[in-house]
Structure 1
Amino acid sequence: MTVNAIVSMAMLKVNADRAGRSVLENFRPFVLDRLYHSGTEAVSTPSLRSAISAEFGIDMPSAVIQTLTNGMARDGLLKKDHGILVFNREDFAKHDLSSSRATAQQNYEMLMRAGVAFAKDDFGVDLTPEQFAGSFLEFLRDETVPLLKTVIEGRPIVADPQVEVGSLKYVVASFVLSAFQNDPTLAVALSTVVKGGVIASALYFPDPAGIDRRLGGLRIFLDTTLLLRLTGACGPDFQRAADDLAALAISRGASLRCFDHTLKECLGVLDASASNVRRGGGHYYGEATEYMVAAGWTYSDVIQFRDAFEEKLASAGVTIHDKPEHVARLTVDEDRLDAILQGEVHYTSTEARYKDIDSITSVYRLRRGRAASSLARAGAVFVTTNTALVRGARKFAKLEELERGLIPLCIPDFFLTTALWVSQELVSPNLPSKQLIADCVSAIRVDHHLWKLYVEKIDRLLQSGDVSPDDYVLLRQSLEVRALIMFDTSEEPENFTDATVEKVLERQRMNIALEADAEAQRTLDDARQREVAVRREAAKTREGLERAKDTLAADRQSLLAKAEAAARGVSLAAIGTLAVLAALGAIFSFPGLLVQQLSGLVSFIISASVFAFLALSLFSLVTERGLPFVHRTLQGHLTRWIGEHVYGTGNWSPVESLGFETIPATPDDELD
């Protein structure tokens, strides 16, 4: 048991239990600071990596930066804009560590100068600031707990009776007590340096006896894109990210593999790239082809690369592995997996989908169907850059109740790289202690309440006495893997950040142009659809008007028929009456039957009828038109009069009566 292990374990457990903070989150402030100082508002992973290394001495893999920036995007600190991540630099001013780092370094320097003066004045010991700093930091490592209680709880440090009076350790202990009790300004500086030193020692905890190499049984199967990146087919930026994963895995004892069907897919991609390079021009899809065209590769360059591809894999530490034979008890519902993957990934190639199914089911068989509670016990895992594939595999595993352990069959590459990096021994940056302490205390800000919880947990762990360095490292690894595995890949934004700022902005401009073209096409398509809809509606309206017109015309004809029938009856009645009266007149013209014997009115009617009948006879004689003509003429006039005055069928238009204007016809072929 070591004090450093106990302090680090206490901080780890309190952060996990109370603050909900993972070890990885401790590195977020470094990324935020460099984003603010980047001079641009676009996120570039390679640029960030270089800036963090130059400023803080931390060699942070691109995948770790990607994981952190994805988390920032989920938290709203970064925004997605046309396929890249951007931020408002003014809003990031609060993440600038410059002022707090400068203050912490000033406190460090002030404390060391005061220590030199104290050693000279009180003990007659001449020391340089560097010599006193070395003795102070050694004292901090040996007496971490008492020093923490001094600055957190206000307990004066008690000198160890076994320490020789006048020794450097005694001088430092005396200085700490004097500074804490007699000088508030030095007490603040002491608190800053102690806290920064404790945070740094916990963050960069040394690997006890090679415990990090406990992944000797893990076989990491890489997907097509990762293999192409690892061999340099996608350019140096992608290759560096893949190299990070390979180096971390191999250093931890894991082995890199690829299935035979994945190798064949890689060779197929390179064949397609060769054809595209030879053809030249046009649009290209896929990292390999895009890089080769942009870098000016020739057809023969690609062919040469393809022919040496297997040797390049071997040089990178990758071995080819046949997929395991099918076993009845380890057979899963591949039809269900096929449907789920198609729904998540939306493959355009059936062959690519089948290869992914083979990879996932092969890993399941290699695990012998057993649950994997940790990377060390997983045995095999399929690693991919395709987060949609990861989602599909996890959805299938849950439905089939295969995901009973912690480590899924298929995981994202950035997850594995981050898990391997953050759970390993993190080498302390090669920086002066002053800068390292200032960086840690300014970046990882812990409030007083949390520091008190740290001290309480330290006391409990000291009393139990069962904490070893191995315990701390294993818990740290387990907590980090669990924190990462909870990452929901459905929330992971698909953003382009793995390139220089110039290339990232170029991709943004390209995406803007593509989106503008797509929007213009959508607008044109919408206009055409609206035009077709209007024309179809007009056609329907015309059809309705024609039907209404036909209906009204039929109604009019029906009314005219009724008017004609009524007119015929009236005409026949009139002519019949006239004929009867004329006949009566003829009868009364016989001798002995005098019309004068009748009443005056009747006599007048009969006489008039006789004369009318005589007039009709003369008309017929002259015009050669008889009573039928008279009947038809009278019937026609009566029909028009009855239709107009009784049935309202005068000079009307069915369309106008509905209140519509005439709509021009549209040719049928214009409606397509």
Structure 2
Amino acid sequence: MDSINRSLISMALIKAMWDEKKRNADFIDLYVPLVAKVIKDKGYSEIEVDQLCDDFEGTYGIRVPRHPMYTILRRAQKKYKIIRQDRGKYFPDHSKIEDLLKNSRESITIQRSIEEIINKFIQFTDTQYGKKIKRTEAEEIFLNFLKSSDMELLFASESKTVLPQTRSRKWEKVAISEFLIHLSENDNTVFERVIDIATGHVLASAILFEEVSPEHGHSSFEGKYKNVEFYFDTNFIFRLLGFEGEGRKVANEELLHVLRSQKAKLFVFQHTFDEIYWIIDDSAKWLEDPLYDSSLASQVSRFFKENNFSSSDVEKLLVELQGKIESLGIEIVDVPDLDTLQKYEIDEKALYDKIVNLYKVGPGEFHEEDKKETIWKDVKSISAIYRLRKERNPKNINEVRYVFVTTNATLAYASRRYEIDVREKPFIIPTCLTSIFIGTFIWLQNPKTYRSIDKKRIIGDCVAFLEPTRELRKRLVTETKKLRDNGQISPEEYNVLNSSLVAKNLLMEKTMGDPDAFTDKTPFEILEEIKARARAEGRSEKEEEIQKIKTEKESLTERIKDLEPKAEKLGIIEERIDSRARDSAKRWTRAFIIFGIVLIIVSGFPQVFGLKPLFRVLCGVLTLVLLVFSVYFGKNLKTESGKLYNWLYEKNKLKKLKKFKLID
């Protein structure tokens, strides 16, 4: 078993122990049984800390530096009583170590779970990319993915990782990111195991930052964040707006929700809001510009182009921007007055230089002129936090009150290095913290609260890793411009290749993010794939329409079958009703005619019938009415008889249909 495999097993083991930990335990307690096992297996009679650090790394694949190891030993001595200290030296109590390790968790089940993850990853890379990788390579790639977040978590620590050294490959981030997204969508059980390992990595890493190590009974970041004022940077707001994908958007929204629930106060400086507004407004000009170059465009510009934003969409966003930010509980405020707080002013130029120097030695391209304005705005924000703190240096975040939050680990690291350089006693709580750092230590206090955020953050990171690098975009733009100018592709095809979301995804799929894998055939392969998908979608739409028609036809056929017995019964009933209605109409018509004849005879010969004067008058009136009726309706007696028939028919039909339950 090599150190990388041991590291993965150890992180999963730490997470399992964390799940079982008692209420009064913390992440330092997780290390105690691990250290105890090393002491037992190596048979120490006296504990040499440097040797213990080496042996611990050899056993678990996790590097714990000297100072944190002393913290663990003090916990083992004071709380667990498994070692004793005498004249500055540590001595183990092997009988108590045996008792402690009786109920220690076995790693066999955990090892099998990791093997399943690695096997699935090996199979995925073979199926998806045609790459056959060894088990050791797969484990190394997985470990590199975990290490990618180390800087954001450990920017303020002297040690930058607990994990062993590894080598990286240009294509590996794409492969592992696609794999993890695939797991999250298709195999949640295995994905949860991945989250467990990632959680174990966070727990293992937490030991490196002494300000959060609760060696003296509490952590500097422990407790509620009531009345702590968090000031967010531009990119944090961009993530909230969804410009870096849904995963990061939701993760940041949930972090804000947790902070609000703890009564923290959330802010954005006015100059930060102005920068956000300007970047969005400036990005709009590229929407219709034929000279749009994705290799030079900002993240916001690419987001607008890839998601088919129109100029009116961007204008609407700008109109609603302040309302959107404020609806998240974030208030826009000015920086504190420089005149009244001048004595707390820092050397902003020195901080600027510190940031620039770290950017220059960092990964990726850096052009100072392009970033100059943004860096100065970050310096202005950090300087404002210094003035707000007024040199106060409390040991707890509840008392420090003011923190600048960034998504940029290099910025946070530069700010911390500046504090150490210029302050005799650096702030215990750094002025600038990463959002991952804050979220992690909220989670350490309440794991259930942050579990969903951690999952979404990992997916958000995966999506971010699927973004082409500037070098890869530049190769695409350069090649497609040449093809367009030579007439080998149309201007429309050029636009599709350089600004569509599907083309970007295919570019990453064809090259796996490696610029060296880009060839002069790549643009044509992408175009052909887009056309093939369009044809397939067209066929799919036709097939769906045909299937829809077939389904409707089958439904109608079944309906007709259901109605046939009812229709037959209804026909019989209608025949009976028709016959009865005709007979009734004829009887009523005959009765009317007979009544009229009798009335005329009686009115014409009243003496014969011996009618009294009153009855004579009544008969005369009735006769007159009958004569008028006859004059008006005489020619339409047949029609009126038909109306009578219709009325009788409908009345009887309704009764019969209800009786036989043919209608409701």
TM range (shorter): 0.3 to 0.5
Q: TM-score, normalised by structure 1?
A: 0.40
Structure number with greater CO (CA < 8 Å, separation at least 6) is 1
